[in-house]
Amino acid sequence: MLQAFIDDSKSEGSPPIFVLGGYIATSDTWTRFSEKWRSALEMRSRIRYFKLREALRGEGEFNGASEALRMERAGIMRGVIELFDISGFSISFRVDHLEETHANFDKRWLNPYYTAVSALMPELARALHNFELPSERLDIIFDNQAMEKVKVLEAWEALRDHALKHSTNLDPPDILTQILKHSPRWEDDKEVLPLQAADMQVTWKRISLEAERDGQKPQPMPGSRKGLKQVSFSLDRDFFEARAARISAAMKVEPHEP
């Protein structure tokens, strides 16, 4: 069985950037990964959990720690990820592009989680071949975002409904029967350790995108020594304009001029 652990990261700058992503591997790989990750947490100086944002800012578990110590621990945690056959994925977009093009539609269309889940799930299923993973059941585990569970489930059900209506033209054909068979679930990232790795993935992806936005060169993740298999999807304004046109046509209502 395959498992994908997913988290999100939202930009604090302007224009704002939203990232949803994480890592995917077999359940056996995640079991071995969790053992190594826990050992890294318990090494001196022990921390209860790892969040990259806290390590970068000197907050939470890293309150009062020196920058050298914080970056050393970030590198160690990245090293744990690189020990295993784990593949990364992410989807990202500027929130203002979504809001400006969908301002006249129902609020669900303006929700970043609804948009990201709808677009990411089929692409993740298609990426299994690129990751050299079998086409089998994929369990989706989100960090426990209580406020957004409804929107994620709405997007999931809408995705499945759309796929069922177009079942003769699915890509991949077994996306419903073999891969996305079960609804996603939520877990506490302080207990389910792969979610801490997912946090690391999306936080650094967001930081890299912010650097590009601000005309700076993105830097490698702290402690990165080798590349991992990755797929990244970026939704631009053209995507959202085309999507708005499809929604409008389906509703038989033309959006108002901005």
- CATH homologous superfamily for 2-251? Ribonuclease H-like superfamily/Ribonuclease H (3.30.420.10)
d(CA 154, CA 76): 38
Label residue 252 left, alpha or beta by phi (over 0 means left) and psi (-120 to 50 means alpha). left
* Per-residue pLDDT at 167: 67
CA–CA separation, 25 vs 37, rounded Å? 15
Q: Which helix (DSSP H) or strand (DSSP E) does residue 81 occupy? A: helix 67-82
d(CA 79, CA 224): 7
Residues 60-102: tens digit of each pLDDT: 999 999 999 999 999 999 999 999 999 999 999 999 999 999 9
Q: Cβ distance 236 to 97 under 8 Å?
A: yes
Structural tokens at position 132: 């050299």
High-pLDDT (> 90) share of the chain, %: 69
Domain boundaries, the chain: 2-251
pLDDT at 255: 47
